[in-house]
Chains A and B, each alone.
Chain A
Amino acid sequence: MHEMSLALSIVEQTREAATREGAVRILEVEIEVGCLAGVLADSLQFCLEAVGKDDGLADTIFRITEVGATGNCRVCAATFPADSFLVLCPSCASDDVSLNGGRELKIRSLTIED
C-alpha cells in the first residue's frame, strides 16, 4: 500500500508549490504514472482523494495520466511499445528485451486560482 505514502508526498509537494505561487485554491493536479512504475493508478486516485479531503483539497481534481514504455530487443534490435516487464519481441520472439521509460512518477502541473 505504498500508494498512500505517494499520495501524502504528492499532496505535500502540491501544497508547497501552491503556497510558493500565492494560490488561493488548487483546482487540478496533473500526475504522470508510468506503466512500469509499480503504482496502481486507481489506488493512487483513491488515496489522493482521501488525503486531499483531510488536507483542504476536497475540491481538487487529481488527474492521473498513465504513460507507456518502449521495448528494445537485444537480439534483433526491434523497437516496440511495452506495458509489462514480461515482454517478448514481436519480431523475433526473444525475451532478451531492454525496457526504456514507463517508470515516470511525476507531478506534471498544477492549475491554481490566484
Chain B
Amino acid sequence: MCDSCGCDDGSGVTITRLVPGLADHHHHHQHHKFRTITLETEVLAKNDALAARNREYLRRRKILALNLVSSPGSGKTTILERTIRDLRGELAMAVIEGDQQTRRDAERISATGAEVVQVNTGAGCHLDSQMVARAIEQLELHDDSLLFIENVGNLVCPAMFDLGEAAKVVIISVTEGEDKPQKYPHMFRAATLCLINKTDLLPYLRFDVTACREMAAQVNPDLEFIELSAVSGEGVGRWYDWLRQHREGLNT
C-alpha cells in the first residue's frame, strides 16, 4: 500500500495510527528488547466458547433453542404469545426475553403460562452467551422442549453474538421497508428462517412481499420464508410445522 496517501493495490486495506515517539519501534526488534508474539485468538472466543457450552447443554436435553431477532416493533413478542397459546398442549416452551429496560415482555409471556426470564441489558444492544447461560440456570426447562430467545430489538449487533441457539429466526413486518434485508445484510445472512409478519395489513400498505423475498435471497440464498400474521393467524400453521420439523430433527 502507498504510504503517502493510503491508496491500495487491492490486497486489503491497512490503516495505521502512529504514536509520536514510537514510530520507529520496529527498529528495536533487532535488540531483542521487544518481541512480537503470535496470538491468532478470536476476539469473540469467550462468547463463542460459552455459546458452544449452551448449545451442547441444549442438544443433550433435546431443547430446540431459537434466537429471534428483528428491529423493535416487528411483533416478536406477539408471535411468541400466539405460538405458546396455540401449541401449549403439544410442546413445552420457555422464553428468555431480552430488552434494555422493563419486564413488560416477560409479563406478557408469563400471562400465557410459559416459563420466562427477563434479561435487561441496561445500555447493552444485544444478548450474549453469558446472559443466556445465566438465564438458562434460572429457567425450569423441560427435556424435548422449545426455548425461544427474544433478542433485543436491533438488526445490527445481535447478528454477531452466538448464544448457543440452533438457528436465528429474523422477523420483518410489512410495516417496515421491503429493502431491510439489503440495508441490514448481516442479520439476514446469519438467519436460517425469515418470518414476514403482519400480513393482515398488506391491503393497506405498499409493501411488496416478492421484492422483499428477492432482496433477502440476494443476501442469503439459503434463507427460508414464512409469511404470517400473529394477529389474524394466517400462515401461522406453516411456522408451527417448521418448529415441529426442527424439533424432531434433534432426535436424529
Q: Which residues of A contact B (CB under 8 A)?
A: 1-2, 5-6, 9-10, 13, 17, 21, 27-28, 31, 36-39, 41-42, 45, 49, 59, 61-68, 74, 81, 84-86, 95-98, 105-114
Q: Which residue of B lies closest to A34 (CB)?
A: B12
B37 at the interface (CB under 8 A from A): yes
A61-B221 Cα distance, complex, nearest whole Å: 40
Q: Are A61 and B43 in contact (CB under 8 A)?
A: no
Q: Are A1 and B218 in contact (CB under 8 A)?
A: no
Known A-B contacts A6-B43, A17-B39, A108-B40; A86 and B157 likewise in contact (beta carbons under 8 Å): no
Q: Are A38 and B186 in contact (CB under 8 A)?
A: yes
B2 at the interface (CB under 8 A from A): no
Range class of the B interface residue count: 35 or more
A96-B219 Cα distance, complex, nearest whole Å: 9
A28-B182 Cα distance, complex, nearest whole Å: 36
- For residue A39, which residues in chain B have a CB less than 8 angstroms away from its CB? 160
Q: Smallest Cβ distance from A70 to chain B, in angstroms?
A: 12
B205 at the interface (CB under 8 A from A): no
Q: Which residue of A lies closest to B10 (CB)?
A: A81
Q: Which residue of B lies closest to A31 (CB)?
A: B43
Dominant secondary structure at the B interface: mixed
Q: Which residue of A lies closest to B17 (CB)?
A: A61
A97-B156 Cα distance, complex, nearest whole Å: 23
Known A-B contacts A66-B12, A68-B12; A109 and B39 likewise in contact (beta carbons under 8 Å): yes
B7 at the interface (CB under 8 A from A): no
A1-B124 Cα distance, complex, nearest whole Å: 9
Q: Which residue of A lies closest to B29 (CB)?
A: A111
B18 at the interface (CB under 8 A from A): yes
Q: Are B189 and A85 in contact (CB under 8 A)?
A: yes
A66-B160 Cα distance, complex, nearest whole Å: 17
- For residue A6, which residues in chain B have a CB less than 8 angstroms away from its CB? 43-44
A59-B21 Cα distance, complex, nearest whole Å: 10
Q: Smallest Cβ distance from A78 to chain B, in angstroms?
A: 16
Q: Are B219 and A67 in contact (CB under 8 A)?
A: no
Chain B 13-25, CB-CB to A under 8 Å as 1, else 0, gives 1111111001001
- For residue B45, which residues in chain A have a CB less than 8 angstroms away from its CB? 13
Q: Are B34 and A85 in contact (CB under 8 A)?
A: no
User: Which 7 residue pairs are nearest across A and B when measured between Cβ atoms?
Assistant: A2-B157, A85-B185, A38-B186, A111-B36, A105-B43, A95-B218, A85-B219
